[in-house]
């Protein structure tokens, strides 16, 4: 049985920032997926998914991260991951997903990188 997942959405300088705390798995992924349509992502913005508080990720969690990327692309926006735990980073590299998700140590650094790219 999984622990709870907390999904907190806020607006950052580049666009939406979604902070995930807890376990992102088969039982909690629908909660994250349900939050995606309401973030108000616009063309040219960046969606940052902050994984600072993530304690577990399974294949269903990876699937919903891909869904978040697809939403960003459909909105003509970009996506970046922040504070990716080492174990999640290893999985993403093994699956080749690191090619599709730019990563940054913090959400603030993801926003700074986005601003630099816009200049």
Residue 2: predicted pLDDT: 57
Q: What is the pLDDT of residues 31-88, one digit of tens each?
A: 999 999 999 899 999 999 999 999 999 999 999 999 999 999 999 999 999 999 999 9
How big is the CA angle at 72 (ends 21 and 86), to the nearest 5 degrees?
40
| Distance in angstroms (rounded) separating the CA atoms of residues 41 and 17 | 10
Q: What b/e readout covers 25-34, taking b as 16+ CB neighbours within 10 angstroms? A: beebbebbbe
For 19, the token pair is 């902070």
Compute the 3-state secondary structure of the chain and give helix, strand, coil in percent, each to the nearest 5.
45, 30, 25
């Amino acid at each position: 049985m999984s622990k709870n997942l907390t999904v907190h959405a806020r607006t950052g300088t580049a666009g939406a920032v979604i902070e995930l705390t807890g376990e992102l798995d088969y039982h909690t992924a629908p909660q994250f997926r349900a939050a995606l349509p309401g973030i108000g992502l616009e063309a040219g913005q960046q969606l940052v998914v902050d994984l600072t508080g993530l304690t577990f990720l399974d294949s269903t969690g990876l699937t919903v991260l891909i869904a978040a990327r697809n939403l960003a692309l459909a909105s003509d926006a970009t996506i970046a991951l922040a504070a990716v735990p080492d174990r999640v980073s290893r999985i993403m590299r093994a699956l080749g997903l690191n090619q599709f998700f730019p990563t940054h140590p913090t959400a603030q650094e993801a926003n700074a990188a986005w601003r630099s790219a816009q200049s």
